[in-house]
Amino acid sequence: MLVPGGQFGTGYGDILNAVQQGIGGLFSSSALGNPNIRPEREKEFEGGADLGFFDQKADISLTYYRENSTDVILPLPISLSTGYSTQLQNGAKIRNVGYEMALNVRPITRKDFSWDFGVNWSKNNTTVLDLKGATFVENVAQFGGTFSGAVGAATLGSNIGLRGNDFVRCNRGLVIGADSIDADVCQGAPKNALYIGPDGFPVVDPTDRVISDPDPHWTGSIRTSFRVHKFQFSALIDHKQGGQVWNGTRGALFNFGTHKDTDIRGQMFTFGTDYPYLKGAVVGPGAGTAVLIDQNWFQGDGSGFGPVSAQFMEDGTFTKLREISVAYTLDGKWVSNLIGLTSIDLRLAGRNLHTWTNYSGIDPETNLGGAAFATQGIDYFNNPQTRSIVVSVGLNR
């Protein structure tokens, strides 16, 4: 496959154009075409129930679905001796299982005053069932990004998230020198306790593993609406519980020394005691040893450009005030007599007005790969969700 024109570089501003001095140029794509590609296919079973109560003053809906996607198209790695690095192939089978529930209640339905509210809840689990014999498939183009120590990947038996490295922790069957991490050093220690080497610093685990689960445990929302004569007031709150976000922005700024958290450099800290960014229990020969946190740490193992991306995983739980609005309906006789309309609706709404979250980045809802089929939960200098004020006019005839 030849790519006409185009640019290529390292991603740090150095760009080489295939076109030079007005003379057209071509270069080979790193992806090999596949004339035998087949369309993806989906089979889904869905069942549910819709129930009404109290003369339709309340209703509830319950839904269960199970979807199997086969012949999922992935850019799979191939031998570099072919002159290419990847080829689009029908390389995966993925299953989605989910539950949805919605409850709507209308306790007051008078002529000049009404009130209704609703609650919905949903949960979805994604599992990769087959990868044509592979244990995992990594790819930047399809899955949303590749970074030092963190690569978007589909992993057999897991979901589509990030793979990479962590520090050595208990209960992973590792041996460091003469220390058996599980049997000896971790005896009585909490699960996933951080292993501290003799120098007082955590030790990098060389094992490539799944380091993120971007899927939320569940999502939900609450809405309410009041109508008073010709005025209507409404509000919507969204919530996402769980789901990890990789704060790559923070990791990169650590490397450049421009993040506020790096102001601690030049001071002595002890991992497991007062170092603020790797909390929890510690074990190992260096446990309790104070060390100097300086530029070497923030541009080495403590960097977002270093080998350990798992340290920048954060809980992406959030609650958002998604919208508040007020509307007024004009339906006097002058509306029909003068302009021939039944009514005019005037509406003022504010969207994404506030977010409650413990996430330290700009917005836990942002994602580098977008909303398409890609790795979710990647924050790498992305823009946050837009906060907006919307004025709308509805003409009804």
Per-residue tens of pLDDT for the chain, all 397 residues: 444 456 666 555 566 776 777 676 666 777 888 888 999 999 999 999 999 998 889 999 999 999 999 998 887 778 888 888 788 888 889 999 999 999 999 999 888 899 999 999 999 999 999 888 888 887 644 445 556 667 788 888 888 888 889 999 998 878 777 777 777 788 888 989 999 999 999 999 988 889 988 889 999 999 999 999 999 999 999 999 999 999 999 999 999 999 999 999 999 999 999 999 998 999 999 999 999 999 999 999 999 999 999 999 999 999 999 999 999 988 878 777 777 788 888 999 999 999 999 999 989 998 887 665 556 788 988 888 889 999 999 888 8
Closest-CA residue to 3 (of 23, 24, 22)? 24
Domain boundaries, the chain: 1-32, 214-243+316-397
Element (H, E) at 256: helix 248-256
Q: Which two tokens stand for residue 230?
A: 């010709």
Q: Which two tokens stand for residue 149?
A: 């120590």
Write down the pLDDT at residue 13.
Answer: 58
Q: Cα dist. 321→73, 106, 328 in Å? A: 37, 22, 22
Element (H, E) at 140: helix 140-143
Write down the pLDDT at residue 158.
Answer: 87
Are residues 180 and 171 in contact, defined by beta-carbon separation less than 8 angstroms? no
For 333, residues 6+ apart whose C-beta sits below 8 A from its C-beta are none
Write down the pLDDT at residue 3.
Answer: 46
What is the number of other CB atoms lying within 10 angstroms of the CB of residue 1? 10
Closest-CA residue to 330 (of 317, 341, 321, 322)? 341
Are residues 88 and 96 in contact, defined by beta-carbon separation less than 8 angstroms? no
Please calculate the CA angle 113-118-122 and round it to the nearest 5 degrees.
170
Write down the pLDDT at residue 291.
Answer: 96
* 297 three-class SS: helix
